[in-house]
Structure 1
Amino acid sequence: MINHTLKDDILSISITNKDFSYRISLKKLGNRIDWKIGGKDSENIIIKSVSTWALQLFTKTITDAQYVKQFKDIVQEYCPNNAIHWEDTFMAVKIQNEYNALSKTNQNQNEIIAMLTEKYNLDY
């Protein structure tokens, strides 16, 4: 479970028994980004208007979808008028994590992107 506290417009979040602790300004909590999945010299998948923080927080060591859902609830609590596309955010986290795992197998980057594009029926 994600624990969170708010003090001086800074949201502190952590996960019990995990190496996961971050402080985020409320002004930036609802930020969104067009997230690029892929290498610098390969094809890319771009998913628009996703949560900047969800992608940064949940595509490294903590990748469990339950935490992304809890994070969404926290963002909605403190930034109810955000313009984040949450379904696309959940999908972007899932695709990015799968891309990260496949990249470790030394597969061709363009093949990975093509496979993920087909698997998730993306038209980007």
Structure 2
Amino acid sequence: MDLAHVAVCVSDLDRAMAFYEALGFEETHRFTLDGVENVYLGQDGDPSLQLRYDADRTTPIAPTRADVDHIAFTVDDVEAQFEAAVDAGGAPVLEPTEIEAADAYAAFIEDPEGYTLEFYRTQ
């Protein structure tokens, strides 16, 4: 079994797309179902992230690390990806650092909706 993608709800589709496109993601496809716009983003043609936008949603989108701790992406250059995310409007959570217990080098950032993203490479 392989993980196909992660779906997250967004309150501003254009803002979310601009943020993830600044990180190197490209739209792979989209559709609307029951009034909810679904946009798939990926790299190298493989969708890994689904943005769900419901213009009629009446409850706020309030992701917390208590419910979804983070979404992790492997990257070649943790510092460059972290800086690109900050430049695109992300809020730093943890600057690039060694995480010895995981044998990894990682950084965490909050996207414009409040989801925490991890960029990491193994040592």
Question: What is the TM-score with the length of structure 2 in the denominator?
Answer: 0.29
Larger radius of gyration: 1
Task: Give the helix-richer structure, 1 or 2.
Answer: 1
Task: Give the strand-richer structure, 1 or 2.
Answer: 2
Question: What is the TM-score with the length of structure 1 in the denominator?
Answer: 0.28
